[in-house]
Structure 1
C-alpha cells in the first residue's frame, strides 16, 4: 500500500462512480468506494474487485447528506491513511419523481445537502491528506443539463426551497452550478499548492430506471427514448479516470471538462467571482461548526 496512489470515490456502488472505480483500480490505484448503503456497497466492492482483477479496493460507509456521517468517515480514513491522492465527489441525489421538499435527519433540504454541502465538507476535511500527496487531485461533478438552464443561480436567500415552490430539477441544477462555483473557488484558494481542482460536465448517461419506481409511464417512455442517445456509465467514467490519473492534466486546475476530455466553459454567473464568493460564504455558514475533525 505504501507505494500505491489512493483514490476515494463517493457514490461508487453504481453507475459512473462504480465504472470509474473499476477503471482506476485496473491502473493499479488503491480505490475506496465511499457508499451510503452497506449491502449495495459490499456487492459493488466484490464487483469492482472481480472486474478489475484487483484486491486493492475497500468500502467505507458515508451518507453524503449528513455532516455527522461525513465527519465519521473522515475520522476513520485519517486513522488509517496519512495521504489521499484523488478525491472524486461523484455521489448525488436526484429523484426525478420527487414532488416535495425532503429534509435530512439534520434538517437540511436533501438535494442541497447531498449534492453541494456534502462534497464541500468532505473535500475541506480531506485537504490535509491531499496536501501530503505528491500531486493531490479533487474532481467535482456537474451536469451538461446546465446548458438548458443558462441563467440558473444559487438562490442565496432560499437555497432550500423553504419559501418558494419546490422543483426537483431546479434544486438539482442549483446544486450543480454551486459545485462549479466551488471548483473555481477552491482552485483559486489552492493555486500555490500541488493540489488541482477540476470539474466534470456529465452528459446524458443511461439510467437504471428501476431505481425510480414512482415514475409515471410517460416519464418512463421519455427516459427510454433519451437513453438511446446516452453514453454508457463506462464511457462517461473515462473522463473521471482521465482527470484522476493522466499526466496530461497534472498541472491543470480550475477547469471544466466534457465527456470528450475537452475543456468547456460554464455560465457567466459561475465565472463571476463576486457570485462565487457569495455562494461560498453561504456554504461555509452551513458548515462552519463541522469543519474540524476531533
Structure 2
C-alpha cells in the first residue's frame, strides 16, 4: 500500500504530537521533526503506541539553523521520493525570555524558527511536494494576531536590533509573516498540484511545566487562561482536516480557524505590495 507521507515540525509535543497521532491513526506515514533527539525518540514511541501504527519516523531538525534544515532535507530525501503533507507546526515562543537570543546563523531565533526556517524547508522540499498526487503545505499562525490588527512586519529591523524587543512582539510579527508567506506561496504554486493554507491556532492549554522559570503570577494567569482554552487534540483536528479532507483538494491560499472555517487576516497582510516587500526581505536571509 502506498501510504501518504506527512512531515510535521515540532511533532514531539502539544498540538504537533496530537496531530501526529491523528494522522498516523488515519494510515499516513508520519515523520516528526524536532531538535532534541532524546525527546523526539520518547515522543516517537508514544505516537506509535497511541496510534497503533508503526509507520512513524523521527527527523532531528533545528528550525533555527539553515545547516540543520539542509541536512534534514537530505535525510528525508534519502528515505522518501515524495511528500504529501508538510505542516509547519514548530515555533519558538519562550514566554519567560526577556532578551533576544540568536541562532548559529546569527539570526534572532523567533524570526529564524517561525518564519525563515519554514520558508527554507518548503523551498527545499517543493520538488517532493510536486511528486505527490496532491501535495499540501500547512502553515501555522495565531488567533492572537486579532489583538494586533495594525501590526506590520518591521522590514527594516525584523530582529529588533535597534531595540524594542519583546518575545510576544517578535512572535506575532513572525506569525504575521507566515500568513503573508502563505498567500505568496499559494500564488507561486497555483499552476501545480500543491496547495498552501494557514491555520489560525486559538487558545490551547499550555503545559506550564515546560516553563520552570515562569513567575508565580504568570503561572496563575496561564492557569486561568487554560479554563477557556481547548485541548491540543481538539486543535490538532484542524491540522488533520487540512491534511486529509477531500474537500480541501483544490482549496489554496486560505486561512482557517479551529472550526475549519475560512477566516480573514488583517488588511495589511493581504496587500500584494506588502507581501512582496516581506518576501523580498525573507529571501535576503536565504
Under a length normalisation based on structure 1, what TM-score does the superposition of the two structures give? 0.97
Say whether 1:254 aligns with 2:261: no
Q: Counterpart of 2:164?
A: 165
Q: Counterpart of 1:291?
A: none
Please give the residue correspondences for 1:1-294 in structure 2 after superposition, counting only pairs within 5 Å.
Answer: 3-287=2-286
Structure 1 position 215, deviation (Å): 1.0
Separation in structure 1 between the aligned mates of residue 116 and residue 11 of structure 2, nearest angstrom:
18
CA offsets 1:162-183 (integer angstroms, 9 cap, x no match): 0022111110000000000000
Structure 1 position 148, deviation (Å): 0.3
Structure 1 position 97, deviation (Å): 1.0
Separation in structure 2 between the aligned mates of residue 103 and residue 284 of structure 1, nearest angstrom:
19
Separation in structure 1 between the aligned mates of residue 13 and residue 97 of structure 2, nearest angstrom:
20
Separation in structure 2 between the aligned mates of residue 168 and residue 33 of structure 1, nearest angstrom:
26
Structure 1 position 280, deviation (Å): 0.4
Stretches of structure 2 lacking an aligned partner (at least 5 in a row): none
CA offsets 1:243-288 (integer angstroms, 9 cap, x no match): 000001110000000000000000001100100000000000101x
Separation in structure 2 between the aligned mates of residue 121 and residue 269 of structure 1, nearest angstrom:
24
Question: Which SS does the other structure have where 2:31 is aligned?
Answer: strand
Separation in structure 1 between the aligned mates of residue 34 and residue 238 of structure 2, nearest angstrom:
21
Separation in structure 2 between the aligned mates of residue 129 and residue 30 of structure 1, nearest angstrom:
15
Cα RMSD (Å):
0.6
| Larger mean Cα displacement after TM superposition, 162-171 or 129-138 | 162-171
Stretches of structure 1 lacking an aligned partner (at least 5 in a row): 288-294
CA offsets 1:103-155 (integer angstroms, 9 cap, x no match): 11211001000000001100111000000000000000000000001111110
Separation in structure 2 between the aligned mates of residue 6 and residue 249 of structure 1, nearest angstrom:
17
Question: Which SS does the other structure have where 1:108 is aligned?
Answer: coil
Structure 1 position 214, deviation (Å): 1.4
CA offsets 1:87-116 (integer angstroms, 9 cap, x no match): 000000001111101111211001000000
Question: How many positions carry a matched residue from both structures?
Answer: 286
Structure 1 position 81, deviation (Å): 1.1
Separation in structure 2 between the aligned mates of residue 216 and residue 79 of structure 1, nearest angstrom:
45
Question: Which SS does the other structure have where 1:126 is aligned?
Answer: helix
Separation in structure 1 between the aligned mates of residue 124 and residue 209 of structure 2, nearest angstrom:
34
